[in-house]
Structure 1
């Protein structure tokens, strides 16, 4: 256990005793470390001098200052880096490597997403660092893992969505207009890898606290993508038949899809026969409930190509708001398809306070999405905006390692910082 300090809010922190040395960049690793920071860990983000995390340049859009002028902080970077302290270090230099080894002595966790074997050249791999700190938890995030024939390949979310089967079940049916593979609109595999890495790190810390032993965590995007196929993967393993794309429909439930209304779209998700009956009765088509072809979900799945056009014609006669009000009144799950602007105006989103505004050194304030983990005693709280590049270099090296301002200035003059 280290002497990690709690954040400034004064609230109790689940991970207030944990310090993380974050050598990761882009999304999967930073998503993990942002979770840890939200839960109270002191996350020290190591960045390249001069340019920093790749996502700092992934704009526009950028955060804007009070005058509406773009800052240098890309919105993409802001999404995954709140709650951290930024320190610039050139890890290719011997002095930079020495600094990181000093920092490891004060940290509980190292998180990195370099190519397999790359950090070994710098003496920053797990075997080298556990010699310095035997109870270290060290998490590596790569595209394909530390072994296997693809281990040395670079892995990107889009690529893994394709290789890992997600795109084979995402997109419109091949026999319909617009059919074909489609990626998910956010980097879902990166995000899920960050979530799995968060769980793995906390499990390893619990093990360390019980036994005194650290360990190595090997997280791979491809492994995560295969695992998160969930019921789709299970369907294949138990049938031998590769699942196909269903667009906005469901392979096992009918009706469970989008429908066009007179002025927009809704989702109708009937999870049982009773909900289906209430749906068609609300639409003035009770005979569709009594039709023996559609009496049960297995029969509706069997006859979907006959039933769905009938339902589509029924829904098209009325407005979106009318359908939502009617179906909510009789307990049929339904809802609108919101664009992102509508999401942030949704009454439930507003009531849950999912947007948080934090003070920022160059933008004045930045708006971020609140962490969805709700803990009653140790809440996940965002109290530090994503840092400017190198914002905390002097603070961390001085307070944590005892380096003087003169020492830091000399390292900066050499290009180490």
Structure 2
């Protein structure tokens, strides 16, 4: 099956995860993504060797998920953008590209002459994409950011999941959590821009910030705060909806959790009660209508918590599987990696690393044409410099000269 981005060439000048993960998704979808890396240091992400105090790689193996996930499927070129000797190479790459991706700040882009005006001077039709912490306008346009600061903290997501009385805000559930959401947002924007260019002849400048992505993810709360004209009240983090005992997490007897999300509690209350042997609660007038159930939600939740808490996780999942209401097991990362639905839909994908070992990564969530994801590994540092530059017409003498000058690796 031909991938939808086959024939599209993307030129990436970006580091870490936010914008590079967009390049990885575009590569998954068939684009030829050429990643320009500093010829000495490479992408700084390559130096991220520990995560949460543990090694992010297996000893003796080149495969590291922190590098592979945002860079899979690309070609790497070690090229200095600061030297005049490489300017013709860069300009030829821009001419041959459909999309330019970067997360450098405006001043850095201007210094390297990779800002919008320069890139468009070389290729007026190119789609220019800038990912940032806080957007291309406003007082923070030159401010550095991470997803923990812009997406999580400033966009209100940390506050939204922090329980009342907590001494510190709750941290992100995973590294690059906001970066990956932002990356696929950029990939979708690129697809829209390419379609627009094809149908109208007009190209686009794309601006995506981690702050805006975080606010979008948190829009339910932000929109309500604007409606109410004040901050939202803190709620018990066990529940999803005040007054509804059939939302939120409940602990089983073996300390596993079940997440309920039945937003029509009066529809499911009696059935849930009967499943868990709460026949009296099913007939209790306090819980007979939506209004009375909301009024006595704490009592109802306590009864349900006792019933679930007296049963093992397996017992609870067996009972709930008989119900049409929405619920799920609360899974850890290891369980997610082995989730039957993800595997059946090809969203946990196999690939071969540089040594030929079989590895696995989470695939991007978009499935085209009923096909499982087909991933290829991330490039080694500067692995494709000679290959790509030869495609531009350079010969061995040209390559050797640039290498001697330290302009390429």
Displacement, 1:326?
Answer: 1.0
From 319, 342, 352, give the equivalent of 1:349.
342
Aligned to 2:252: 261
- Name the CA distance, whole Å, in 2 between partners of 1:407 and 1:287: 85
Give 1:122-201 correspondences, 5 Å limit: 122-160=112-150, 161-171=152-162, 173-175=163-165, 181-186=169-174, 187-201=176-190
Match of 2:219 in 1: 230
Query: Any unmatched runs of 5+ in structure 1?
Result: 1-10
- Going by fraction, where is helix more abundant, 1 or 2? 2
Pair 1:210 & 2:199 matched: yes
CA distance in 2, matches of 1:304, 1:98: 69
Q: 1:409 to 1:354 in 2, by over 3 A?
A: same
2:328 maps to what in 1?
A: 335
Deviation at 1:311, TM superposition (A): 1.9
Query: After the TM superposition, which residues 252-331 of structure 1 pair with which residues of structure 2 at under 5 Å, given as runs?
Result: 252=242, 253-263=244-254, 264-272=256-264, 273-297=266-290, 299-331=292-324
Is the CA contact (8 Å cut-off) linking 1:31 and 1:195 kept in structure 2?
Answer: yes
Q: Residue 277 and residue 179 in structure 1: after superposition, are their counterparts in 2 closer, same or farther (change >3 A)?
A: farther
Q: Which moved more, 1:159-168 or 1:224-233?
A: 224-233
Residue 30 of structure 1: CA displacement?
Answer: 1.1
SS at match of 1:118: helix
CA contact (8 A) 2:100 2:128 kept: yes
In structure 2, runs of 5+ residues without a counterpart are none
Paired with 1:266 and 1:203, the residues of 2 have a C-alpha distance of: 39
Q: 1:245 to 1:25 in 2, by over 3 A?
A: farther
- Give 3-state SS (helix, strand or coil) of 2:134's partner: coil
Residue equivalent to 2:380? 388
Query: 1:207 & 1:385 partners in 2: Cα distance?
Result: 31
Q: CA deviation at 1:139?
A: 0.3
Corresponding residue for 2:25? 35
How far apart, CA to CA, are the structure 2 residues paired with 1:22 and 1:225? Answer: 23
CA distance in 1, matches of 2:289, 2:226: 26
Instruction: Work out whether residues 349 and 375 of structure 2, in 8 Å CA contact, stay in contact via their aligned partners in 1.
Output: no
Count of matched residue positions in the alignment of Structure 1 and Structure 2: 398
2:71 equivalent in structure 1:
81
**Residues 143 and 221 of structure 1 are in contact (CA less than 8 Å); yes or no, is this contact kept in structure 2?**
yes
Alpha-carbon offset, residue 62 of structure 1: 4.3
RMSD of the alignment, in Å? 2.1
Q: Deviations over 1:204-244 (max 9, x none)?
A: 11111112222211111111111221322222222224233
Q: Is the 8 A contact 1:327 1:333 kept in 2?
A: no
Partner of 1:360: 353
Residues in 1 aligned to 2:123 and 2:25: alpha-carbon distance in whole angstroms: 24
Q: Structure 1 CA distance, aligned partners of 2:116 and 2:36?
A: 17
Task: Indicate the residue corresponding to 2:10 in structure 1.
Answer: 20
Q: Which piece of structure 1 moves more, 335-344 or 311-320?
A: 335-344
d(CA) in 2 for partners of 1:18, 1:80: 18
| 1:410 match | 401
| SS, match of residue 71 in structure 1 | coil
Structure 2 CA distance for partners of 1:211 and 1:370, relative to 1, 3 Å? same
The TM-score normalised by the length of structure 1 is 0.89
Poorly superposed stretches of 4+, deviation over 6 Å: none
List per-residue Cα deviations over 1:11-61 (Å, max 9, x = no partner). 312111210001111111011111111111100011112331122121243
Provide the secondary structure at the position in 2 that maps to 1:259: strand
Aligned to 1:8: none
CA 1:347–1:201: 2 relative to 1, 3 Å: closer
Call closer, same or farther: CA 1:189–1:346 in 2, change over 3 Å: closer
CA deviation map 1:337-372 (0-9, x unaligned): 222222223333333333322222236333222333
User: In the aligned structure 2, how far is the partner of 1:129 from the partner of 1:353?
Assistant: 38
Query: Does 1:53 find its partner at 2:46?
Result: no
Partner Cα separation in structure 2 for residue 27 and residue 245 of structure 1: 33
